[in-house]
Amino acid sequence: MKVSIIGQGYVGLTISIFASSVHDVVGFDTNQTIVDDLNRGVSHIEGVDGALLTQRIAEKHFRATSDPKDVSDSEIVVIAVPTPLSKDRKPDLRFVEAACQTIGRNLTKSALIINESTSFPGTLRNFIKPLIEKYSDHALDHSYAISPERVDPGRQDFNQKNTPRLYAGLTPEASKRTRAFYSSFCDNLVEVSSPEVAEAAKLFENTFRQVNIALVNEFAQITHALGISVHETLEAANTKPYGFMKFTPSAGVGGHCIPVDPTYLATTAEELGIPATFIRHANDVNRSMAKYVVQRIIKDNGGSIKGKKVNIVGVAYKPNVADVRETAAELVIDECRAKGANVTWHDELVKEWNGEKSSSLSGAEISIVITKHDYLTSELIKASAPYVFDSTGRVQGVKGF
């Protein structure tokens, strides 16, 4: 089948590589640099191998494009564009709207349109379908389905093939075609009764993590005040063989999902007149962790970090990736600068970020570890500054949670 995948980022490129093992895939992206790199076999996503990309291109099973006309004769179109928050931290569907415009204006035959972008329940039925119909110049009868993405970039044990995939069509026929499409490269498909169930399940998965991370972040503050180790206490609780799941404290949550998706659920709840107390509070706790960490460091350093040379170690939002979206490092840097510190950061995977370059690992008076990539050994980190605060719990013998 000819498949077009709108958006060639973490989700879209990953799915392109799996789908192009059995289908002819066109990867459409508005970013020309990404398109050019992909067509040269250069992957910008961890976990997507350049050699495999080159092989798919050589077999003529994959090509990237920025020309919307290239999606015209697709049988299946997958939407994988960002669904961020706006500046005032509200759901922002403008990329989905732009994708609908591309699809509506350019498809010349009826297709199955599947949304993989995360959004609130009702997005497929009440936003995507009407928009594609609005922009469509042709009297076409498209089918619509949702299959929320669960990819965890950089993860080795679970991938597109072995991670169970939820799906639902707006019609039984759309569900059937969606199953046929994904079962060509995914082992475990789980049909649910409506797109809204699939959309809500995806939001709840990430909200569950956000709330539990906030709970353990609050707990870390309590154990510190009690003078006991949060990590030892969590290990003790984790010996219970049922009814407990261990989460670990951090300087906050990052990435495209955990800090963002719960706000989509909270907004839906509030529109329905239900106060999203847990979700909003969890978000506030996680976002306040940067302040808490900096306060702890100030206390340890004689009450002020004004004028001190502070280096933030690891600014990606999680280990061994270069993704800085919504990283907690940004809030920690802002807080340190607000307190008058002279702040640099070190991350050999990120290299350049916010117009600044990665600095050397050592040479500062204070190192604050936000993300411990594998190349950042405990020995290197400990030797990096006279005072080290580790927010990851992975460096022994220094200050931290």
Among the listed ranges 143-151, 155-163, 280-288, 300-308, the one in contact with ligand NAD (CB under 6 A) is 143-151
Give 85's DSSP letter. Answer: B
* Residue 34 interacts with ligand NAD (CB under 6 A): yes or no: yes
Query: Closest approach of Cβ 374 to ligand NAD, in Å?
Result: 19
Tell me which residue of 282, 254, 297 sits closest to 400, measured CA to CA: 297
Measured at the CA of 95, the angle between CA 91 and CA 100, to 5 degrees, comes to 115
Determine, following the binding rule CB under 6 A, whether residue 9 of this chain makes contact with ligand NAD: yes
149 binds ligand NAD (CB under 6 A): yes
Catalytic residue among 100, 186, 257, 336: 257
Rounded to the nearest 5 percent, the helix, strand and coil shares of the chain are: 40, 15, 45
H/E element holding 28?
Answer: strand 24-28
Is 85 or 398 the residue whose CB approaches ligand NAD more closely? Answer: 85
Question: CB burial class (10 A; 0-12, 13-18, 19+) of residue 54?
Answer: middle
Number of residues binding to ligand NAD, judged by CB under 6 A: 29
Of 123 and 384, nearer to ligand NAD (C-beta) is 123
- The kind and range of the H/E element at 36 are helix 32-39
Distance in Å, CB of 38 to ligand NAD, minimum:
10
> What length is written for the chain?
401
Residue choice 3, 18, 29, 124 for contact with ligand NAD (CB under 6 A) = 29
Query: What 8-state DSSP symbol labels residue 375?
Result: T
Q: Does 318 bind ligand NAD (CB under 6 A)?
A: no
In DSSP notation, 280-333 reads HHHHHHHHHHHHHHHHHHHHHTTT--TT-EEEEE--SSSTT----TT-HHHHHH
Q: Is 257 one of the annotated active-site residues of the chain?
A: yes
Per rule CB under 6 A, is residue 19 in the interface with ligand NAD? no
Amino acid letter for position 87: K
User: Are 258 and 285 contacting, i.e. CB atoms less than 8 angstroms apart?
Assistant: no
The neighbouring-strand residues paired with 4 are 26, 77
Binding mask 52-91 for ligand NAD (x = CB under 6 A): ----------------------------xxxx--------
d(CA 36, CA 48) in angstroms, rounded, equals 16
The reply to whether 371 sits near ligand NAD by the rule CB under 6 A is: no
Q: Which of 95, 127, 135, 219 binds ligand NAD (CB under 6 A)?
A: 95
In DSSP terms, 343 is beta-bridged to 310
* Cβ atoms within 10 Å, residue 48: 18
Among 118, 136, 147, 210, binds ligand NAD (CB under 6 A): 118
- Report the residue closest to ligand NAD, judged by CB: 9
Using the rule CB under 6 A, which residue among 52, 98, 197, 201 binds ligand NAD?
A: 98
Which of residues 13 and 366 has its CB atom nearest to ligand NAD in the complex?
13
Q: Minimum distance from CB of 107 to ligand NAD (Å)? A: 14
Least Å from the CB of residue 279 to ligand NAD: 16
Which residue stretch of 1-9, 55-63, 69-77, 85-93 sits at the interface with ligand NAD (rule: CB under 6 A)? 1-9
Please report, as ranges, the residues that interact with ligand NAD according to CB under 6 A: 6-12, 28-31, 34, 80-83, 95, 98-99, 102, 116-118, 149-151, 153, 256-257
* Residues classed as catalytic: 257
